[in-house]
Structures are given as C-alpha cells and as structure tokens.
Amino acid sequence: MATTQAAAVAQNAPTKNPTLLAWVAKMAAMTQPDRIVWCDGSEAEKKRMTEEAVKDGTLIPLNQEKRPGCYLHRSNPNDVARVEHLTFICTPNKTDAGPTNNWMEPDEAYTKLGQLFEGCMKGRTMYVVPYAMGPLGSPFTKIGVELTDSNYVVLNMRIMTRMGKAVLDLLGDSDDFNRGLHSTGDVNPDRRYICHFPQDNTIWSFGSGYGGNVLLGKKCLALRIGSYLGREEGWLAEHMLILGVTSPQGETTYVAAAFPSACGKTNFAMLIPPKEYKGWKIETVGDDIAWMRPGPDGRLYAINPEAGYFGVVPGTNYKTNPNAMETIAKDTLFTNVALTPDGDVWWEGKDGEVPEELTDWQGRPWKKGSAEKAAHPNSRFTAPMTNNPVLSGKSNDPMGVPISAIIFGGRRSNTVPLVLQAFNWTHGVFLGATMGSETTAAATGKVGVVRRDPMAMLPFCGYHMGDYLQHWLDMQKSIPQLPKIFQVNWFRQDKNGKFLWPGYGDNMRVLEWIVNRVHGRVPTQETLLGWVPRQDQGLNLQGLDVAPESISEATSIKEDEWKTELKSQEVFFEQLGTKAPEALMLQRKLLMSRLGG
C-alpha cells in the first residue's frame, strides 16, 4: 500500500522535492484518502473547488448581485471557536511548554492522534496545500504544507496565505517547511486535538473545522510554532496589527499593537480619522499578526505574514469599521452568520433595521425579537487583504516596515487609563506582560472574566511564557533604535457601565499623541505608572462631543485600584515560577513601592 501510495503521490506532484514527497506519501498511507489533489492556487482551481463546496453543501452561495463572489459556511454547532483546552504543545520536556500551555509528550501525541488519523480520509480527498507566510522571497517568510480533507480549509487558506505552485518553486529541494496535517474527522469534541511539535516544525489538527483550529498557517504556524522559531532565530512572532499613520506633512510612522481577540484590533488597523483630522491617513499593513526582526539600520522591522483577514463579524458596521465593510463586500467567505430571505448576510450590530425574519447561523428560522442571537458571537469573515480600501503599499514589501511604537491594549472596564507611555523598554515589557483583558466569545469558556494575557499571546505562545518574556527583554540588545512602548484602554466605563471614551475613529486622537511622543514633539506628565498626556499639551479633543469629566475619568490613575491590580498580577508571576524574569519582578517591586504597597 505504502509503495503504491508513494508512486501515486510522486506521479501527480508538481514538485520533485524528495522530503516533501516522502512525507505526503507517509501521511497518505496513514489516512488512506481516495485521491490526492495538489493545489496550485489558480483561479480555475478556485472556481472548481467552490463549485464542489456548493454541491456538497459546505458553502451556500449568497446573492451574487449584492455580494459578488461571497459564500456562507455553517460549522458544526459544537465547533465554533478556538479550543484552548484541546490545544497542546508537544515538547520532550514538559518545562519547555510551560505552565500556561497544555503539554503532551511528542511520542504520546503522535501515537494518540495517529490512531485517530488512521484511515480517516477513506472516501475523501486529501488536498496538498503549499503555502507561504510572508511575501514570496522575503527573508521573513516561512513555508508550510497543509494536508487536509476539507475544501473549506483550502478555500480559506487560498485567501489567508500565498498559496500554490509558486511556493513549491520557492521551496525547491529544501526540507525547511512546516508539516501540517488536518482532518475534520467526525467533528467530535471528544476526539478533537490541535497539537504542535516545535522541534519537528509540525502541526497535527484533528476533529475540528473551525478556522482558528484548522487554518494551520494562522495561529498554529504564525504564532505557536513561529514564536518558538523566533526565539531560536532572534526575532518576534506576535499577535499584533501593523498600521502606518501619515500626517498632512507626509511623514509616515509605523505602529504595531497587541490586543486580545475581539478587542477592536481590526477596527484600529483600518481606522478612519475623524473629520478634524483632515489630511491624515491610516493604512493597514496587517490586522492580526506581526513578525518582527532587527534590521540592518538598527530599527525593528515588521511584516504581516498573512494575505487576508479572518475577522469577527458581529459589531462590524459602517460606524465601527467602514473599511472592513468595504473589504467584505466581495470575494468573502462568511462563517456562522445569519442569512436574509434575499440571500444576503446579517449579524448583530449590522447597519440598518433588524430584519423581521432570518435563517440563523445553524440554519433554523429566526424572528425579530428572538432571545437567541441570529449570528454566532464568534462568527467570521475571511477576505483578501487586497479588498481593503486602505491597504498599505508596503503590505507586500519583503523587507517589512520600521516599527516606531508598540502598543499594548486590553478590554478593561476600570483601572487601566486611556493611554500611557512606558518609561523604558523593560518597563514596557512589564506593561505587556501584565496586560489583563476581559474574556470574549473568540475562545470557549466564560465571557467577561478578567484574565492575564501577556502581549495578547497567552493562547498562542509555543513555549514557556517566562522564557518568552525573557526573550522580549533580551531583544533590547539586538535593536539599537528601540520602539517606544505604550499601553491603551478604549473600554473604561463609568459607574453606570457607560464607556467613557467614544473609541473607533476617535482613537486617532490617542494615536496622534503616540506619534508625537515617538518623534519627541510633545511634553508629557510623569505619573507613578508611566508618562501620560498633559492637560495643556496633550490629546487633541477638538470637535469631540464628550464631557470633560469623562475624559478626566478615562485618563485617571486610581492608586487603590492599582494596588488591587498588582496583587492580582502576583498569581500570574507565581505561575511562571523560577522562570519569571528578574527584571520584571523588579519592575513590579518598584511600582509597589511607588504606590506605598
């Protein structure tokens, strides 16, 4: 069987790479697909596979006049988000995975999942998906090959990565590629695993069809494996957007920002400045992931390794994110949104009146006023970045863009002020390390609980979080011109639960202050926590319809709240044990002493 399989693989393959051919043959011998298809990334392939996905019910065509090239996918109701409790880092030593990751010994994981993969593709097609994370030819770029039995995965990977024959040509005979194996299996949560093998540059995913678990180039390679490779090779793989902000004078400043899922990352990446900011321009380099390396000129350079956006839909509208609405107007795959009678899509928070009747995300009739949501709270769009009206011309630059500022921001209803600047790199790493955010629907579990999420990487770091934070500290030695580090919080509320800051486009006012600080143009006020805007030469509030007391409350620092915050941070640092970096422990002690704690 294995010899026949190997011959069949080699006969149909558009490559002669011996390592790749042998691996595909070995995986095919285990999974036993009826046929093997090597994906070339062509338009003809997209058309053929889309037609097949419609025929087998994977995709539902939308109204092609309203949404040309757009389709709806409904996942299994038990399979609608990332499953952190079923996601494993498989290293020989449990300590290497760390206390914040689930760990499985590699041989045990290969054996356990191997039994699940055995014969799982009988009656199915194995698609071989060669893809690149990053622009072809960039020194940042990593190559992966995903084997999957899901045409939904192929069509999404086509949008999210540079996929196809050109990647095989770039790979040549090299054995340096990520080996990804995926099967939806029977979509049973009891047989669902997402396993990462950093030392083998390998990912095995079984039993899920949800994007975050099965688009193996995204969180799996770009972050979990990527963060491990970054530490080994001296760079950073981060859960960060990248944007360029250009002033009326033509000065462009690039910023990277980390926000946990569903905390406004895509909105910020595609921000439209308010009317008072005539002549200012925001352009998107990336909305979710940044790979950052020290450049030859001493600055930190970043690329977006992705080619598309896999964004949360609910709450997206022409007020919150006009550019996202334009981006998803064509050639977009929607997952778990509601369907209108005329073949359009709908979700909670969309513009206009709520329709009287819909088909909900599970395919059931839905009426206006229903207690259940029509679209799943974690419903998604997958759209090509080329659809974005404000896509940066540097988004495909193989050398990336120079990062002048790094922003950390979570969803906090109290404690954290609107904006502050770190005193130095180590203090900035401390701010990122202690970042807390109230949980959202992007991950399974309770919603609204504050959890520590360092650099928004807790679910995505592929090794010990203590070593990860030390790697951040060590990067200072490799970057002579360090970016300035900032912390923001758009979500602070008053005692009645009302947001104090309007957010969305008005976040430009905070971004302008950050840019001015980067270029040394505005003075600042020192506080116990960091530097904040001065009242006389701080945030530009012209035209902002918000009471002065609300701004004062949003920017306030309350020592009693911070004493409580520091106490809650203790649990996280205790979790890291002896690997908690000493420099961060010192930062915490200094802050406690400043607060009189």
Is residue 431 within 8 A of residue 410, CB to CB? The reply is: no
What are the backbone angles phi and psi of residue 284, rounded to the nearest 5°?
-90, 125
pLDDT in tens, 229-246: 999 999 999 999 999 999
Q: What is the pLDDT of residue 1?
A: 45
pLDDT-derived band of residue 441, with 50, 70 and 90 as boundaries?
low
| pLDDT of 286 strictly over 50 | yes
| pLDDT of 48 strictly over 70 | yes
pLDDT in tens, 173-208: 999 999 999 999 999 999 999 999 999 999 999 999
- Which of 130, 100, 103 has its CA nearest to residue 197? 103
Q: What is the pLDDT of residue 449?
A: 65
Q: What is the pLDDT of residue 439?
A: 66
The first and second tokens of residue 332, run together, are 């977009």
Distances (CA, A) of 187 to 20, 80, 132, 275, 335: 28, 11, 27, 49, 16
pLDDT in tens, 455-504: 999 999 999 999 999 999 999 999 999 999 999 999 999 999 999 999 99
Distances (CA, A) of 492 to 390, 496, 557: 28, 11, 12
User: Rounded to whole angstroms, how far apart are CA atoms 132 and 597?
Assistant: 50
Catalytic residue among 120, 195, 220, 263: 263
- 488-502 in b/e form (b: 16+ CB < 10 A) is bbbbbeeeeeeebbb
Domains of the chain in start order, with CATH, are 2-59+86-233 (3.40.449.10), 237-308+391-557 (3.90.228.20), 310-379 (2.170.8.10)
The maximal CA–CA distance of the chain, rounded, in angstroms, is 77
User: Rounded to whole angstroms, how far apart are CA atoms 235 and 120?
Assistant: 37
Helix ranges restricted to H, 320-385? 322-327
Number of residues assigned to the chain: 597
Mean pLDDT, rounded, of the chain: 95
| Eight-class DSSP state of 217 | I
User: Rounded to whole angstroms, how far apart are CA atoms 509 and 66?
Assistant: 35
| pLDDT of 587 strictly over 60 | yes
Distances (CA, A) of 106 to 3, 16, 28, 74, 200: 27, 29, 20, 33, 10
Distances (CA, A) of 89 to 3, 222, 237, 592: 32, 14, 16, 34
The span from the first CA to the last CA of the chain, in angstroms, equals 69
Q: What is the pLDDT of residue 468?
A: 98
Q: What is the pLDDT of residue 11?
A: 77
Q: Please tell me whether residue 28 adopts helix, strand or coil conformation.
A: helix
For residue 263, indicate whether it is catalytic.
Answer: yes
User: Rounded to whole angstroms, how far apart are CA atoms 227 and 233?
Assistant: 10
Q: Please tell me whether residue 131 adopts helix, strand or coil conformation.
A: strand
- The residue-averaged pLDDT of 559-571 equals 90
Q: What is the pLDDT of residue 79?
A: 97
HEC-encoded secondary structure of 174-206 = CCCCEEEEEECCCCCHHHCEEEEEHHHCEEEEE
User: Rounded to whole angstroms, how far apart are CA atoms 585 and 592?
Assistant: 11
Q: What is the pLDDT of residue 568?
A: 87
